[in-house]
Amino acid sequence: MRLLEIKDLKVYYFVRDGVIKAIDGIRLWMDKGESLGVVGESGSGKSTLAAAIMRLIPPPGKIVEGSILFKGVDLTKLKEEDMRKIRGKSISMVFQDPMTSLDPLQTIGDHLTETILAHEKIDRRKAIEMALELLDKVGIPKDRFKDYPHQFSGGMRQRVMIALAMALKPDLIIADEPTTALDVIIQAQILDLLRELKDELNMSLILISHDLSVVSEIADRIAVMYAGHVMEFSDAMPLFDDPLHPYTQGLMRSVPNIELSDQELRFIPGNPPDMLNPPSGCRFHPRCPRAMEICRIKEPPLVEVEKGRFVKCFLYGNDA
Amino acid sequence: MSEITTKFSSRIFRILARGGMETYVCLIGGFIVFVVIFMAVFAPFISPHDPITSVADPLMPPNSEFPLGTDNLGRDVLSRIIYGSRTVLLVALVSSLFSLVIGVSLGLLSGYAGGSLDRALSLIMDSIYAFPGLILAIAIAAMLGPGISNMTVAIAIVYIPTYFRMTRGQVLSLKGHLFVEAARAIGADDKTIMFRYILPNLLSTVVVVFTLNIADAILTEAGLSFLGLGVPPPTPDWGFDLKSGQGFFTAGYWWLITFPGIMIILLVIGFSLLGEGLNEILNPRLRAR
Amino acid sequence: MHDIVIEVKDLKKYFPVQKGFIETLISRKREYVKAVDGISFKIQRGDIFGLAGESGCGKTTTGRLISRLIEPTSGKIFFNHQDITNVKGEELRRLRRKIQIIFQDPYASLNPRMKIGDAVGHPLEIHGITKGEKKREMVLEVLEKVGLTPPEKFYEVYPHELSGGQRQRVAIARAIILKPEFIVADEPVSMIDVSIRASILNLMLELKRSFNLTYLFITHDLAVAKYITNRLAIMYLGKIVELGPTRRVLTDPLHPYTLALLSSVPVPNPRAKKKRIVIKGEVPNAINPPPGCRFHPRCPRAMEICGRVEPKLMEIEKGHWVACHLYG
């Protein structure tokens, strides 16, 4: 059984000016022990995806259609009280901004200990032991147990967030742009940490980022999102070696690679999609160098081009 | 400036056409205000009688000829209500406009300049603000003496700090914004920055404060007149009529104070709804992402 | 021919630390955040001079100093060999015609209540160059140049109707309408979608050619720096630690910090086995920087002298300078 399976998910925001179809019918899945990278730019819907899985979509947003099967259970159909049992325990999240995600009035040691105690039936001493172990695993010296969040730098706080996310040994950790607010050296440290934890503990991880390079450091499989759809979904290496979707190709050509000497940096013409009035048919067609007549009219299906490689594009599949 | 107002009103039209709770609130408030303004403007045409002359027996209860009855001097209550709207609106609007112009200008200057000017002005304004509005209005009006213009001045002074504080607060926040720094970078001087970059970004809040402020001013005006510090008789005024009708209430002549009272409350609600609705429309809460 | 547009000599900017009331009563000592602590460099006409580093290194402050949005605590700034360190008033205003700045945040750098046409044309008004129909013509011309076509349509819209990339083009249009000589670009593409960045960068390159511009390009992204800058200075905690031709600095870095930075940059290639240079700790605060070389507490190659003596910038190969005791 797959760890996570998303089918035909649609998340809409009903705002004053209309409906923002942030996620408009996507299919995704991942297995235990895998790390899934979700890449997308503005308007792609990637952050909405994280919120949707955690059932934390703020109003005026709603899950309009589709299912999110987590270990076989459809999260969209759960009652809030049941969902609360899952949040933090079975699925936990690391947020983007480490500055504001921690309670300023609690020492991080207490925060960790309380989190553990709230869900595990053990005594306080054992909980503190576990907390110390966690801090050690994420590379925070034990003597910082009694420090407050403001005494930590951004990178350290993010490590605390990761420790918190791991505290209850969840089945799945979702990291939503975990390194975006951090400097490049610290970012590298955090990515190394995530990779270590993934390898050692066989952690299942969803890493959401706008940065393809960041995702390539950790992800086994990658989903490329654009305007609320998954455009390409495959294992990481084949995706980088041979991107299929024109958007993925365009994206890769526009990422500066510091290891190349004379890189011709390209860009994708046009502008990010207006999510109140997204383009018809294939949402990428206005900017696609290979758009055909049909792309304007119909939305392409997600087809399996080779084993494990899925693309949402009329250039591939039966109609190609 | 006219460019700003035309753009503004077209924006309002566009937003009002969309519907939503705040739009209805705004429309209800706006309707009430409109009715009262209509009353004031067309008073000579719609008022059945002259409000200051006795036209019938005193203390007649509401009947077919005098729908709201007559007061203790035989004057038609309905006519007094209709003409009374003029006084109320005139005083409230004029004094609020005064407060706005002075308060916003000083707030703009003070917030932008900072330093000792800011501290001095803030001190003065905070001191005025510390007094409960009505008490202060009474004190000033008592000093100046009764009469419409004195009352207007008194009320104007009382509300200057409201505009000052609001404007100053916004200016302080806007001053640090990137587009203000960008304006400096292209060579804009302080005057240009204040009037082209900061002031236009204040306007929507100022409009809201204005409408809410008028509601307050109406109450203060009624209060002053009630205490005899406002309009001299026989000028029709809701507050004054409330006062003079007070003594007759216990004797069973309820219509003398009821109708002026209702009108005051209604107009205040009207402006309040208008202001609250406008606030939601013009300064919408951040949409959830 | 050395046509030096900008020269900076021992530039310093210290920001006083705000203290609470009680604290000011108790201790007399003033503390300062030494954001920029003695930097010197020259920018030649036609250069795209990169200033790179992590947050808190002082690069943004340097940009603000050179564009004279803030005044230096000490040191000198020269523009076309003229001392502009303390210009004020009318002279400063005239300087603004020649030195312009593009900010990082395209969402915040435009006045939300000003139409694009008015915003871009405002510099013309301020400097009394033209008005009315002629002004409109010039604005339309420059809007076309930055790729906002049809310019008539963009003239009438407000910032909130545009995307981040479009807004940044507006900011660029506003910066070039006075035909400046020098532009400070403060992280101009950091907040723009990756797939559009190159179009903005390419626009900047094209404008450089058309208008003979010189740029100071501030960035934290070394990959972007590699793409667009020809000279690069690496800053750490208020000091320049390495400076040289971009290709040299990023291919054969001299300073251990540059090496560490380079090894941390993620590469879009899952096969790349990163040999990360592990740097312990975090950037110390700029109020009490470490003695000697600022980087020494975290440097994997620190020696005894590094904790005592601050290394000076020395030219190791032609045009390539480094401040490190490992050399010389």
- Specify if B274 maps to a domain: no
Q: Among all residues of chain C, which has the CA nearest to that of A271?
A: C163
- Shortest Cα distance from B230 to chain C (angstroms)? 41
- Residue B54: left if φ>0, alpha if ψ -120 to 50, beta else—which one? beta
Q: Indicate if the pLDDT at residue C275 is higher than 70.
A: no
Whole-number Å distance between alpha carbons of A157 and A24: 34
Neighbours of C137 (CB within 10 A): 12
Looking at chain C, how many residues does it have? 328
- CA closest to A18 among chain B residues: B18
Q: Which residue has the higher pLDDT, B53 or B167?
A: B167
What residues in A contact C197, CB-CB < 8 Å? 254, 265, 267
Q: Which chain C residues are closer than 8 Å to B204 by Cβ?
A: none
- For A69, A301, B30, the CA distances from A224, given in Å and listed in that order, are 20, 15, 50
In this structure, the dihedral spanned by the alpha carbons of residues B22, B23, B24 and B29, taken in order and rounded to 10 degrees, is: 90
Q: Which of C100, C107, C111 to mutate to probe the B interface, most B CBs <10 Å?
A: C111
What's the CATH number where B230 sits?
1.10.3720.10
CB-CB neighbours of C40 under 10 Å: 15
Q: Which of residues 185-204 of C touch A (CB under 8 A)?
A: 193-199, 201-202
**Closest Cα in chain C to B175:** C111
Q: How far apart are CA B155 and CA C147, in angstroms?
A: 55
pLDDT tens digits, one per residue of C160-218: 889 999 999 999 999 999 999 999 999 999 999 888 999 999 999 999 999 999 999 99
Residue C270: asked if its preceding bond is cis (omega within 30°), the reply is no
Residues of A in contact with C202 (CB under 8 A): 265, 267
User: Residue B154 domain-assigned?
Assistant: yes
- Asked if residue B283 belongs to a domain, the reply is no
Q: What is the pLDDT of residue A236?
A: 93
Average pLDDT, chain A: 90
C113, C127, C182: which to substitute to probe chain B, counting the most B Cβ within 10 Å?
A: C113
Structure-derived torsion over alpha carbons of residues C89, C91, C97, C103, reported in degrees to the nearest 10? -50
**Residue A152's pLDDT is what?**
86
Q: What are the chain A neighbours of C230 within 8 Å (beta carbons)?
A: none
Distance from CA of C87 to the nearest CA of A (A): 35
> Is the omega angle on the peptide bond into residue A246 within 30 degrees of 0, that is, cis?
no
Q: Is residue B288 over pLDDT 60?
A: no
Residue B289 reports pLDDT greater than 50 = no
Cross-chain Cβ contact A216/C266 below 8 Å: yes
- Asked if the structure places residue B116 within a domain, the reply is yes
**Domains of chain B: total:** 1
3-state SS assignment for residue C93: helix
Model confidence at B147, in pLDDT bands (50, 70, 90)? confident
The pLDDT value given to residue C199: 92
Average of per-residue pLDDT across B220-243: 83
Are B20 and A13 in contact (CB < 8 Å)? no
Enclosing domain of residue B221: 87-250
Does B151 reside within a domain? yes
Q: Do C267 and A271 touch (CB under 8 A)?
A: no
* Residue in A closest to B287 by C-alpha: A15
Least confident of B155-169, B188-202, B206-220, C63-77: B206-220
For chain A, which residues score pLDDT lower than 70?
318-320
What's this model's pTM, rounded to 2 decimal places? 0.86
Of A167, A156, A155, A149, which is closest to residue A102 (Cα–Cα)?
Answer: A149
What is the distance between the alpha carbons of residues B264 and B259, in angstroms, rounded to a whole number? Answer: 9
Q: For residues A11 and B49, which has the higher predicted lDDT (pLDDT)?
A: A11
Q: What is the ipTM of this complex?
A: 0.87
Q: What was the pLDDT predicted at C324?
A: 94
Does residue C265 or residue C272 have the better pLDDT?
C265
**B27 against A288, higher pLDDT:** A288
Hey, which residues 187-216 in chain B have their CB within 8 Å of chain C? Answer: 187-189, 192, 196-197, 200-201
Q: Do C194 and A240 touch (CB under 8 A)?
A: no
**Is pLDDT above 90 for C98?**
yes
- The shortest C-alpha distance from B6 to chain A (Å) reads 22
What single string gives the DSSP state of each residue in A249-296? HHHHHTS--TT-SS-------S----TTSPPSSSTTGGG-TT--HHHH
Q: Report CB contact under 8 Å: A16, B289.
A: no
Q: What's residue B287's pLDDT?
A: 38
pLDDT digit string, tens, across residues C214-260 = 999 999 999 999 999 999 999 999 999 999 999 999 999 999 999 99
Chains contacting chain A through 3 or more C-beta pairs under 8 A: B, C
Does C262 contact A263 at a Cβ distance shorter than 8 Å? Answer: no
What does the pLDDT read at residue B3?
59
Q: What is the pLDDT of residues C16-72, one digit of tens each?
A: 887 777 766 777 777 889 999 999 999 999 999 999 999 889 999 999 999 999 999
pLDDT reported for residue C26: 74
For residue A4, give the nearest of A227, A223, A309 by alpha carbon.
A223
CA of C165, closest CA in chain B: separation in Å?
A: 17
Q: Any chain B CB within 8 A of the CB of C93?
A: yes
pLDDT attached to residue B281: 73
State the pLDDT confidence band at B11, using cuts at 50, 70 and 90: low
Of B179, B183, B187, the CB nearest to C108: B179
Question: Contact partners of C by the rule of 3+ C-beta pairs under 8 A?
Answer: A, B
In chain C, residues with a C-beta closer than 8 Å to the C-beta of B186 are: 96, 100, 122-123, 126, 174-175, 178
Examine residue B213 and state whether it is found in any structural domain, yes or no.
Answer: yes
Q: How far apart are CA B15 and CA C289, in angstroms?
A: 54
Q: Is residue B166 part of a domain?
A: yes
| C19 or C3, higher pLDDT | C3
The pLDDT value recorded for residue C274 is 67
pLDDT at C1 exceeding the cut of 60: no
Q: What is the DSSP code string of chain B? A: -HHHHHHHHHHHHHHHTT--HHHHHHHHHHHHHHHHHHHHHTHHHH-SS-TTS--S-TTPPS-SSSTT-B-TTS-BHHHHHHHHHHHHHHHHHHHHHHHHHHHHHHHHHHHHH-HHHHHHHHHHHHHHHHS-HHHHHHHHHHHH-SSHHHHHHHHHHHHHHHHHHHHHHHHHHHHTSHHHHHHHHTT--HHHIIIIIIHHHHHHHHHHHHHHHHHHHHHHHHHHHHTTSSPPTTS--HHHHHHHHHHHHTTT-THHHHHHHHHHHHHHHHHHHHHHHHHHHHSPPPPP-
Query: Would you place residue B9 in the very low, low, confident or very high pLDDT band (cuts 50, 70, 90)?
Result: low
Q: Does B73 touch chain C (CB under 8 A)?
A: no
Looking at the predicted structure, is the pLDDT value of residue B1 above 60? Answer: no
**Does residue B58 register a pLDDT over 50?**
yes
Which of A16, A60, A61 minimises the CB distance to B18?
A16
pLDDT band at B286 (very low <50, low <70, confident <90, very high): very low
A contacts of B288 (beta carbons < 8 Å): 13, 58-61
* Residue-level pLDDT at B4: 59
Mutate to test the interface with C, among B174, B179, B189 (most CBs of C within 10 A): B179
Per-residue confidence (pLDDT) for residue B74, from 0 to 100:
84
Please give the interface size between B and C, counted as residue pairs whose CB atoms are below 8 Å apart: 58
Q: Rg of chain B's alpha carbons, rounded to an integer? A: 22
Closest CA to A247 of C196, C251, B265: C196
Neighbours of C255 (CB within 10 A): 26
Q: Is residue B268 in some structural domain?
A: no
> Cβ of C69 and B185 within 8 Å?
yes
Residue B5: per-residue pLDDT: 61
Show residues of chain A in contact with C222, CB under 8 Å.
184, 258
The pLDDT of residue B62 is 85
Per-residue confidence (pLDDT) for residue B50, from 0 to 100: 85
B3 interfacial to chain C (CB closer than 8 Å): no
